[in-house]
Amino acid sequence: MRAMPLALPYFEEAQQGLVRHFGLTQFRPGQAEVISTVLSGRNTVVVMPTGAGKSLCYQLPATLLPGLTLVVSPLIALMKDQVEQLTARGISATFINSSLSDLERAERMRRLRAGEYKLLYVAPERFRSASFVQTLLDVGVDLLAVDEAHCISQWGHDFRPEYAQLGQVRKKLRPPRTVALTATATPEVRADIVRVLLMKEPREFAMGFDRPNLFLGKQEVGGDTDRHEACARLAALGGSGIIYCSTRRAADGIFAELHGRGLKAVLYHAGMDDDARRRAQDTFMSTKDAVAVATNAFGMGIDKSDIRFVAHANIPRAVEAYYQEIGRAGRDGGDARAVLLFNHSDVYTQERLIQGNHPSEAVLADTWGVLQSVEEFERGVHVLAGMVNASEFEVSAALRIFERAGKLERGGRGEGEHGLTLTEKAPAAHPHAADAQRLLKSLLETFPLGRQVTTELTILARRVGLSVDDARHALGLLEKSGVVNVRRPFSGRSIRALARLPFRELGMDLSHVREQERQNLQLLRRMTDYAYADREQRCRRGVVLHYFGQQDVETSCGNCDVCAPAKMPALLSSGGPSASRARTAASSQPVMNYSELASTELRRWRKELSKDLGVAPFIIFNDATLLGLAAALPIDRETFLTVKGTGESRWERFGPKVVEICLMARAAGHEPQAAPMAAPRKPRVRRSLGIN
């Protein structure tokens, strides 16, 4: 047993509970101190990295305290996993959330009032129910645990407005002790947690940010071809891994590449149905050397100790998110890698995602206008997006803003009524499946041919003695054979405006939306600084630890691509970053003939833009590319793209201004020169298009 450095109150009691309830013999670093503080009745803020055992810091006190421990968690899947684990250990726990039926929710509320639970998990939205809050007041809460507490802070990488209300909830419930826990929080986020939760002089624990067994590296990539090759080579090194992608499309592409190479890959993203995601997660957890290709929807609650690598195919939106995700590697203490595949165009993609998540006033006004034109909108967000000429992403964000402001409500995902039309094939059909035969017989006895009738699937299932799932499957078989035409119920959520007013009369204050957008862009810039650490020869581990407020940081860690470049595996057939830079230097020829006027104006414009964006000038265009533009003086997309260091994303973002400057130089009598270094671009473009 590890000797305790100090005599901790309640330590013996906690140690006995650890053995009795969890079958463990000793605490992980920091756990005993936190648990002792919680049992002492002190409010506590805990920052522990992923895999360090945060959950035990409230689960163990819950078993020792006489009353109820209320756990606020943002993820339904995580609640379910933790409740199952606790129940398996004989600890009475449950959750109440939107996944339950009305009857299930009522039964759990009854048992809650009867004092049958030690732990209750809820999402922050649950506190909107006045009757639920009153039940908690009647029962009493001994410990309030706020998990994923960084969601409280607008400076957190996953801010949720519902979390911002927890201070008022805590004030109303008055629990004797509160513990707020997160895996990643900078000093400013920790200060926000304390402020929002209305804590007075809480004890703070921030520990274990450093993961010495985790190699931190970056591989620069030119496009999807490089990205796919790097992921495949990393997966081929052996061991389980996770490859995070910023979009479903990117995840689909990398999964197809790995699957085509015979690697044991699974796909996971929010566009898949619940069963497919569950199967993917189960396969990943149970298969040796499995690789999960996923969006950031994957990973919460994943506790697979032998993950040997985590790769990010695209730059994450914040250092906190990145460090939390790479923390899933090497939990067994063995060597593991975290590799960021980096192309600066991905930064622009993330910027667009951030801007889309904070829609303009015009998108909000147009969305509201459509909702005013109908009593209830039941055609889906994708149709609504088309009607307002905006992305589905932007419109979804607009709906969330209206919903949080109490201006609209969305219905549950309705089962609704199916529309069925028996075709002329029906009387003579003889389905092979017995369930389909039974269903067809019932339909023929009940409904006329050629005329659409509506009915609920539950009624059909009950009539023929099948489960709802079996009835759905049988109906699908009949539909495929042309026996019946099926119009399924609206599967999304209905949307209804709660006020009949023009948008300008709603009194919407959007200042917080714009401020959150600004903060998210700032978090992205900090992540970009991490990506460029090698350019400034700064230790990557040092950058991360400084970011989280750790002061005593070594200048060299010996386990990142800056401090130990030899440990960085070659992930591209053309070699690693250093080889790429060497080839570039060897092939680069200085630009001798260029427009001095264009060069001066381009530099002036780049300097002003870099200040506005808060980035280094070379991130917009490096000096060599700027001279290349001053030589080629492009006035169209094709000429612009012949200059080394440009690209489609830069054309979309900066092309108009560059063309404006080049037109001015041409008007002054300057002649364009042959674009330098154009030839090396052609093979890369052809490969990325799949042309041989």
Does the residue 95 lie in any domain? Answer: yes
Provide DSSP, 116-129. --SEEEE-GGGGG-
CA–CA gap between residue 146 and residue 57 (Å, rounded): 11
Burial 449-468 (b: 16+ CB within 10 A, else e): eeeeeeeebeebbebbebee
Side-chain half-sphere exposure of 33, counting CA atoms within 13 A: 17
Does the residue 5 lie in any domain? Answer: no
- The pLDDT value recorded for residue 299 is 62
Helix (H) or strand (E) holding 612: helix 596-613
Q: What range defines the domain where residue 358 resides?
A: 350-414+492-519
Which residues of the chain register pLDDT less than 50? Answer: 1-5, 414-415, 576-588, 675-692
- Whole-model pTM: value is 0.64
* 134 and 107 fall within a common domain: yes
Chosen domain end from 149, 171, 206: 206
| Count of C-beta atoms within a 10 Å radius of residue 12 | 9
| Count of C-beta atoms within a 10 Å radius of residue 338 | 24
Q: What is the DSSP letter of 674?
A: P
* 473 and 559 fall within a common domain: no
Q: 480-508, pLDDT tens digit by residue?
A: 889 999 877 765 678 999 999 999 999 99
- The pLDDT value recorded for residue 2 is 44
* 434 and 474 fall within a common domain: yes
CA–CA gap between residue 115 and residue 135 (Å, rounded): 11
* 145 and 37 fall within a common domain: yes
Does the residue 2 lie in any domain? Answer: no
Which residues does 360 contact at the CB level (< 8 Å), separation at least 6?
Answer: none
Q: Which of 321, 346, 300 shows the shortest CA–CA distance to 155?
A: 321
Does the residue 305 lie in any domain? Answer: yes
Which residues does 65 contact at the CB level (< 8 Å), separation at least 6?
Answer: 39, 142, 143
Report CA dihedral (389, 392, 394, 400) to the nearest 10 degrees.
130
CA–CA gap between residue 116 and residue 93 (Å, rounded): 9
Query: In this structure, are residues 572 and 230 in contact, taking their beta carbons and an 8 Å threshold?
Result: yes
* 423 and 336 fall within a common domain: no
What is the total count of domains within the chain?
5
Does the residue 545 lie in any domain? Answer: yes
Which regions of 57-163 does DSSP assign to beta strands (E)? 68-72, 93-96, 119-122, 141-146
Q: Supply 559's token pair.
A: 């386990």
Query: In this structure, are residues 186 and 320 in contact, taking their beta carbons and an 8 Å threshold?
Result: yes
Backbone angles phi, psi at 551, to 5 degrees: -95, -40
* 235 and 331 fall within a common domain: yes
3-state helix, strand, coil split of the chain in percent (to 5) is: 50, 15, 35
Q: What is the DSSP letter of 506?
A: S
Amino acid present at 562: V
* 23 and 134 fall within a common domain: yes
Amino acid present at 450: G
> Residue 173 region, left (φ>0) first, then alpha (ψ -120 to 50), else beta?
alpha
* 626 and 646 fall within a common domain: yes
CA–CA gap between residue 377 and residue 588 (Å, rounded): 58
* 225 and 298 fall within a common domain: yes
Q: Which CATH number does the domain housing residue 389 bear?
A: 1.10.10.10
Q: 188-231, pLDDT tens digit by residue?
A: 888 999 999 999 889 999 876 788 899 999 999 988 899 999 99
Helices then strands (H, E): number in the chain?
28, 18
Q: How far is CA 496 from the centre of its chain?
A: 28
* 142 and 188 fall within a common domain: yes
Q: Which CATH number does the domain housing residue 616 bear?
A: 1.10.150.80
Does the residue 133 lie in any domain? Answer: yes
CA–CA gap between residue 579 and residue 531 (Å, rounded): 18
Does the residue 526 lie in any domain? Answer: no
Using alpha carbons only, what angle is made at residue 575 by residues 573 and 578, rounded to the nearest 5 degrees? 160
Chosen domain end from 159, 188, 206: 206
Q: Distances from the Cα of 209 to the Cαs of 29, 132, 205, 541, in angstroms?
A: 12, 37, 11, 10
| Count of C-beta atoms within a 10 Å radius of residue 36 | 22
Helix (H) or strand (E) holding 47: strand 44-47
Q: Which CATH number does the domain housing residue 223 bear?
A: 3.40.50.300
Q: Distances from the Cα of 240 to the Cαs of 243, 276, 291, 292, 654, in angstroms?
A: 10, 20, 5, 8, 41
CA–CA gap between residue 434 and residue 518 (Å, rounded): 60
Does the residue 438 lie in any domain? Answer: yes
What is the arrangement of strands in the sheet containing 119-122, beginning at the earlier edge strand? Answer: 93-96, 119-122, 68-72, 141-146, 177-182, 44-47, 203-206
Using alpha carbons only, what angle is made at residue 243 by residues 242 and 249, rounded to the nearest 5 degrees? 135
CA–CA gap between residue 372 and residue 67 (Å, rounded): 48
- The pLDDT value recorded for residue 646 is 86
* 294 and 370 fall within a common domain: no
Amino acid present at 424: E
* 442 and 512 fall within a common domain: no
Query: In this structure, are residues 599 and 668 in contact, taking their beta carbons and an 8 Å threshold?
Result: no
Which residues does 462 contact at the CB level (< 8 Å), separation at least 6?
Answer: none
CA–CA gap between residue 559 and residue 581 (Å, rounded): 21
Beta bridge partner(s), residue 179: 44, 145
